Structure 1
Amino acid sequence: MQETSRTDPLFVAVETDVISRADVAGLIAGRLAAIRVPGLLPAARCHAITAALADAEMDRYDESRVFPVVAKFGPAINDHRDAGGLRDDYWDAARSAEKSWSTLGLADGPRELCLAALRAAWPDVAPGRRQGREMHVGIVREINAGLQVHFDDTAREYAGRLLDADVVAQLAFNIYIRVPPVGGETVLWRRRWQPDDEALRIPGGYGYHEAVAADAQSLTLRPALGDGLLFDPRHYHTVRPATDGRRISVGCFVGLTDDGRLVLWS
């Protein structure tokens, strides 16, 4: 289900059986707001992953910055950002996550799930590299209490370049492996950061008061089990609290490089 307000006819989500190059290009160009792939991952595989994760040790985002609490499996770049750079402990966290995942007895890891979903759409898809080293791809996140309204834009958040390649557009990708019966919607606003928005930043947090996008067109997307969702996270967005149950996804960021490749990172 999607709900829209206001009038931009291009700020819509399309549903497709498989992510296509034309849809990715349309999203990057601003002709679409989101791409949704119902049933991208079969229910049986979703259940197998969530069952395996029951025995895994979950981490949390930095609670001094991210509230409400968000549990995760795997590193998130923003937990390792310092003065516009990426700290070396990111690589330690990546190695630890990959080692832990290998003990869960699953055929595919988050990296393989993310890469496989995008390879049908683009001829050249690979993990991004920083100083020659492959970035970690694929983070599992359990977002039950919702997120603050925020945007994700590595061009603003990192001094110089996060990756060796020049990234000219950034997308976010998620596969929902467990969904609550009520709540957990992704809300996307047709608005990007402006300097005056800093007056509405939440003290000590990573996000903004919802008034920052109060006058903008919005799109509400309710997750269904196994759905894939691709959108531009440079727009303000949030996740509504799950009224009952758990909301778990596997995801990554996707960048378009200046030489036409797609690179992934988490």
Structure 2
Amino acid sequence: MATMIDCDSNHDIVRFSTELTHQSLSDLCNGDILVIRVPNYYSSIACEKILSNLDSEQKITEKYDNAPELDIYRLGMAYFETRFNKSLLDTYFSSSDKFHEAVEDICYPHTTPLEEFVKDLDDLWPAGATIQTLEDKDMMPGLVRVILQDQLFPPHQDMLTRDVPDLPKKDHPISQLAVNIYLRNFEEGGELEIWDYAPDDTEVKQLYTGAHDFIDRNKIPVSSLTIKPQAGELILIQSSKLHSVRPGTGGNRVAFSCFSAYRGEDKPLTYWI
């Protein structure tokens, strides 16, 4: 198994900041750093309010359609769920309004974490930010993910070009970011594990576990870095780099999540899930 290193101690690749900045975004998009961490990005009062509403309305979260064996629930729907089940495409593209209503309801009277993040992107990036589209249809803007205790989220990559193999070349991201705004983490465990390694299509075939797109950690040739997310923290990584969520105990792990694609300084950042 690859060695794990405390990522907090390596400031060359982990950018801590009191706020999200254009420079940190640019550095992450261009691979000059591995992680952006913005502690206290979202208010603790708002986190507690949302968690209280989620706990009282558990029926609004469901397991991933293509991974029901995992104790991972989501409010919203990810595009990769349609990858091997095209019958879900209509459900995916028609779910955005329902998601917005549900999220605004559980966050009221606070602005949702995703709204705050998208506003920051739009303000910070010279060309602004816009929702990702496919065939002129808006993709889902994000989701709320709940991971129950003792559940490992194995190493994997998230890449729009794999989820959409026929994506036109002009729309291929130069880099893709995974965005998480955490409402709560496990009391023990629940570290985000990251490898500074992005296997290509040929390499990754030798690394698969055989379940979904998960990677066998024992075959990863480099050491991992670990981060313990805190409530209210914003963390961004390059999603093509292998990453995992370590299991934990004490409560559950809850975050708002989306992706963002970088196609150059003169192009808008796009976001979706």
TM bracket (short chain): 0.7 to 0.9
User: Helix, strand or coil for the counterpart of 2:156?
Assistant: coil
Equivalent in the alignment of 2:16: 15
Does the 8 A contact of 2:191 with 2:246 survive in 1? yes
Identify the range of structure 1 (35-44 vs 129-138) with the bigger mean alpha-carbon deviation. 129-138
Give, in whole Å, the separation in 1 of the partners of 2:109 and 2:117. 15
Question: What is the distance in 2 between the residues matched to 1:180 and 1:131?
Answer: 39
Q: Distance in 2 between matches of 1:4 and 1:101?
A: 32
Amino acid aligned to 1:26: D
* 1-structure distance, mates of 2:243, 2:87: 24
Q: Give the total of aligned pairs.
A: 260
Quick one: which amino acid aligns to residue 59 of structure 1? E
2:29 maps to 28
Residue 73 of structure 1 aligns to which amino acid in structure 2? L
Aligned partner of 1:158 in structure 2 is 164
> What is the distance in 2 between the residues matched to 1:22 and 1:94?
31
- Verify the 8 A CA contact 1:197 1:212 in the aligned structure 2: no
Contact 1:132–1:164 (CA under 8 A) maintained in structure 2? no
How far 1:231 moved relative to its partner?
0.6
In the alignment, which residue of structure 2 is the partner of 1:92?
A: 94
Amino acid at match of 1:133: K
Partner of 2:271, secondary structure, is strand
More helix by share: 2
CA offset at residue 203 of structure 1?
A: 2.1
Query: 2:55 & 2:170 partners in 1: Cα distance?
Result: 36
- Residue number among 101, 104, 114 corresponding to 2:103 in the alignment: 101
Structure 1 stretches lacking a partner, 5+ long? none
Of the three residues 206, 210, 213, the one matched with 1:206 is 213
Is the contact made by 2:46 and 2:110 (CA closer than 8 Å) also made in structure 1?
Answer: no
Equivalent residues of 1:86, 1:162 under 8 A apart:
no
| Structure 2 alignment gaps of length 5 or more | none
Contact 2:42–2:113 (CA<8 Å) still a contact in 1? no
The percent identity for this pair of structures is 23
Contact 2:95 2:140 in 1 (8 A): no
Shift of 1:132: 2.4
> RMSD across aligned C-alpha pairs, in angstroms?
2.7
Give me the whole-angstrom Cα distance separating, in 1, the residues matched to 2:104 and 2:172.
Answer: 32
Contact conserved, 2:61 with 2:74, CA < 8 A, in 1? yes
CA shift in 2, pair 1:257/1:29, >3 Å: closer
Partner of residue 75, structure 2? 73
CA distance in 2, matches of 1:48, 1:255: 30
- The answer to whether residue 147 in structure 2 is matched with residue 140 in structure 1 is no
Equivalent-residue separation in structure 2 for 1:212 and 1:66 (angstroms) = 26
Q: Within 2, Cα distance between the matches of 1:163 and 1:76?
A: 22
Give the AA of the match of 2:137.
Answer: R
Note if 1:3 corresponds to 2:13.
no
SS class of match (1:197): helix
- Structure 1 window deviating more from structure 2 (82-91 vs 105-114): it is 82-91
Q: What residue in structure 2 maps to residue 251 of structure 1?
A: 257
Is the contact made by 1:175 and 1:250 (CA closer than 8 Å) also made in structure 2? yes
Structure 2 partner of 1:167: 173
Q: Could you tell me how far 1:212 is from its partner in structure 2?
A: 2.9
Distance change (3 Å), C-alpha of 1:81 and 1:163: farther
Q: 1:61 to 1:113 in 2, by over 3 A?
A: farther
- Once the two structures are superposed, residues 41-80 of structure 1 have per-residue CA deviations (whole angstroms, 9 ceiling, x without a partner) of 1110111111122233111112x53653211111111112
SS at match of 1:200: coil
TM superposition shift of 1:118: 2.6
One-letter identity of the residue aligned with 2:187? P
Q: Which residue of 1 aligns with 2:246?
A: 240
Report whether the alignment pairs 1:61 with 2:64. yes
- With the length of structure 1 as denominator, give the TM-score of the two structures: 0.87
| Whole-angstrom distance in 1 between the partners of 2:226 and 2:75 | 26
